[in-house]
């Protein structure tokens, strides 16, 4: 049993590293929640099949699909964060209103 838990944990970590995206997490509720998220109060909570998502700012970056007020990652998506300054952090490139991971 312990080996199975370790194997599943390693598989999950490997998947996240390869995908380059963090695991889905709670996001602010802005209208209807994206697919596989459920609303509770002012938050949307990810379900078992949820993908990384964030509240969109104008348009979604490439490789993200628009779902209402959210951008939801596709399988090819790289990490995208909203650009808050004139330049992006190291390891990110500026694309429109977002900073996209170079990896």
Say if residue 32's pLDDT is above 80: yes
Q: List the chain domain ranges.
A: 2-101
pLDDT of residue 86: 86
The model's confidence at residue 14, banded by pLDDT at 50, 70 and 90, is: very low
pTM score, whole prediction: 0.77
Residue 38 Cα distances to 8, 18, 29, 56, angstroms: 25, 27, 9, 18
CA–CA dist 81, 39 (Å, integer): 23
H/E element, 43: strand 43-46
CA–CA dist 22, 39 (Å, integer): 20
The model's confidence at residue 68, banded by pLDDT at 50, 70 and 90, is: very high
Mean of all residue pLDDT scores within the chain:
85
């Amino acid at each position: 049993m312990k080996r199975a838990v370790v194997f599943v944990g390693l598989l999950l970590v490997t998947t996240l590293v390869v995908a380059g995206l963090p695991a889905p997490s709670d996001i602010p509720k802005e209208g209807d929640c994206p697919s596989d998220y459920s609303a509770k109060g002012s938050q949307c909570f990810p379900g078992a099949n949820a993908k990384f998502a964030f509240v969109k700012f104008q348009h979604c970056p490439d490789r993200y699909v628009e779902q209402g007020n959210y951008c939801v990652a596709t399988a090819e998506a790289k990490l995208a964060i909203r650009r808050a300054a004139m330049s992006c952090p190291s390891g990110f490139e500026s694309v429109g209103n977002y900073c996209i991971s170079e990896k």
